[in-house]
A and B are shown apart, each in its own frame.
Chain A
Amino acid sequence: MALLEIKDLHASVADKPILKGINLTINPGEVHAIMGPNGSGKSTLSNVLAGNEAYEKTAGQVLFDGLDLDELAAHERACAGMFLAFQYPVEIPGISNMYFLKAAVNAVRKYRGQEQLDAMDFLDLVEDKKKVVKIRDDLLERAVNSGFSGGEKKRNEIFQMAMLEPKLGILDETDSGLDIDALRIVSDGVNALRGPDRGFLVITHYQRLLDYIVPDFVHVLVKGQIVKSGGKELALELENEGYASWVGEEGV
């Protein structure tokens, strides 16, 4: 069974149509990259998939692990194994990262019928995951994303992904605002999480990220539609030629 199956997806923001018929299938173990210029609908796609109510799905169907997404609220999608790494992670002053993560891990475990983790088990899990995705202890003690640098926020997103062990990870322009060192650290984390049962949807404007997270498939999103799909070489092609041939001069 496909992990994610998007059929003729249309979506609007504030009554303005953005996505105009997306078709995409992701199987377990596959890494798909979606590339596109600004305003092509990349962030809309990730938000519609994650269930942000500000984005309205107007037509089409999305099956996640065999479940119709229309039936699932945002937190249920998360519990079912969908993880969105935000382009701009939200700051939540007053809640420590650890407290937050424990609540999230236990919510997901509860949904999956697993036992709740007590404080000791949870700390063990954190120690475990810190081996996969490196994160400084002080970031875990501080309030969620509060006062984090851009790179720290992104690293925190990847660490959360490691903790929640999703089936599908969606990375929404995770590379934006990162210098080359931060980009490498974040990518190493993602690569460590790749596996035969887990799919990834990597959304990016630039090819650069795909040097580090090498995709199996690349899709070009322009004006709300996938205009071309191919292998990883398509990303290089885009890097050389830009989006101009699809968008026209005015769109670049």
Chain B
Amino acid sequence: MDLKLLRDRAENAFRENGFPTSRDELWRFTDVSPVAAAAFDGAWKPADIPFVPLGSVVAVFENGKLSLEKSNLDGLPAGLHVGSIMDQADERLGSLADAQSAFVSANTAYFSDGLHIQADDGVQVDEPIHLVFLADADGMAFHVRNLISCGAGSKLTVVEEYIGGADDSAYWTNAVTEVFVGDEGTVDHYKVQRESGGAFHFQTIEASVGANAVFSNHAITIGSRLGRNDIRGKLTGEGGEAVCNGLYLLKDRQLFDTHMFMDHAVPQCNSHELYKGILDEKARAVFCGRILVQQDAQQTDAVQSNKNLLLSRGAKVNTLPQLEIYADDVKCTHGATVGELDEQALYYLQTRGIDPAAGHAMLTFAFANEVLDEVKCRPAKAHIEKLVHEWLDQVSA
């Protein structure tokens, strides 16, 4: 569809329907009225926030704008194309993202930058492409639009990292990332969210996974005052595989919502989801994971698990793992737990000489670390582990 027409439609839809309310089943636990009530009329400024590049290909966005000065998009391997989405017309834009969502509509209508990544057929890139979104402009809204396209038999690793300033500035990140994984392709996607303590952060990541292709996503959430990830995968070719893991570490009065939707449309696909959360102080987490197995999707193997650890009185969890199954020859399970650390494990550590406080810290880290087991990208893993340690140290201090 013509981009202008797409944007007009999205803008009309957003103007007509506005933001969702708690009467909307998909938004029951997450009140977005603070976003709806805020005026986003802040002025742009450069963002001087430190970050560590995870590889040689880095795209840095400074308060919503791609900064070629801070980025390094030179010397790309042949067949890999990376540039601003504003410079690269792609008719697939908008073909995946959920048009029903108010946040997606707003993004489609108003996005002003974002990254377009394309690996041509058979192009395998091992090094991660690091997208860094720096934000500290108070009162601004950033509608970021990314499109990742992985050709047949190609391989890409993409890390999206959202970093806020230390000043608790209040802004709104509203990102949408569409991911196309061609047949036999592999996209290893990471999202690290450490926005400022005053920020709103909403992102929809929507992936279409071809035959014998693999899409994996790890979503690590530490920042923002109020936010949500909508992570949606559609398995469209036989033999496809999707892994969607996540970790949310929340404290203060943070509220973070994860809505995961995995659509098995064809036979013989696998999907695995492991989401874990640690909540301290008065933080609240919402997890809603829905696995849909359509009638044709025989021999589906889908496993979903959500585990939560509450560290303090006042922390709250709402978890809704859902299975919706219309095919009979399937193996589907889901599980959810909420609880404290395992007493048996604490005792075991003690018999090995580790005192209860150290044991507690170790088991809390272990709880989080299980999510990182499947992280294949080494620099991303090291970076995330460091962030998890820092968070845990803050909490136990």
Do A's and B's CB atoms come within 8 Å in the complex?
yes
B244 in the interface, Cβ–Cβ < 8 Å?
Answer: no
The answer on a CB contact under 8 Å between A78 and B367 is no
Tier of interface size on chain B: 20 to 34
A185 to B72, CA, bound (A): 56
Chain B minimum-CB-distance residue to A50: B351
Min Cβ gap A48→B in Å is: 12
How far is B7's CA from A55's CA once the two chains are assembled, in angstroms?
A: 68
Contact indicator B368/A111 (Cβ below 8 Å): no
B349 partner residues in chain A, CB cutoff 8 A? 75, 92, 100, 104
Name A90's closest neighbour in chain B (CB-CB): B348
Contact code string A87-111 (vs B, CB < 8 Å = 1, else 0)? 0011011110000100110011001
Min Cβ gap A122→B in Å is: 15
Nearest CB in chain B: distance from A80 CB, A: 9
Chain B residue contacts of A83, Cβ below 8 A: 351
Q: Does chain B have a CB within 8 A of A25?
A: no
Chain A residues near B363 (CB-CB < 8 A): 92, 95
Question: Which listed residue, A50, A73, A86, A95, touches B366 by the CB 8 Å rule?
Answer: A95
Residue ID in chain B nearest A86 by CB atoms: B348
Decide if B369 is an interface residue (CB 8 Å cutoff).
yes
Closest to A78 in B: B353
Contact across chains for B353 and A164 when beta carbons are under 8 A apart: yes
A94 near B367 with CB under 8 A, answer yes
Residues of chain B in range 342-356 having any CB-CB distance to chain A below 8 Å = 342, 344-345, 347-356
Total number of A residues with any Cβ neighbor in B under 8 Å: 28
Identify A74's interface contact among B342, B351, B368, B373, CB under 8 A: B351
CA distance A46 to B50 in the complex (A): 54
Inter-chain pairs besides A78-B354, A79-B353, A107-B352, 19 sampled, C-beta below 8 Å: A74-B350, A75-B349, A75-B352, A75-B353, A75-B354, A75-B359, A78-B350, A78-B351, A90-B347, A92-B345, A94-B368, A100-B352, A100-B362, A103-B354, A104-B349, A104-B354, A107-B358, A143-B366, A143-B373
Name 28 interchain pairs, CB-CB below 8 A, sorted by A. A52-B347, A73-B355, A74-B347, A74-B350, A74-B351, A75-B349, A75-B350, A75-B356, A77-B351, A78-B350, A78-B353, A79-B353, A90-B345, A92-B363, A94-B365, A94-B368, A95-B362, A95-B365, A95-B369, A103-B358, A104-B349, A104-B352, A107-B353, A108-B353, A143-B366, A160-B352, A164-B352, A164-B353
A interface, CB within 8 angstroms of B: 50-53, 73-75, 77-79, 83-84, 86, 89-90, 92-95, 100, 103-104, 107-108, 111, 143, 160, 164
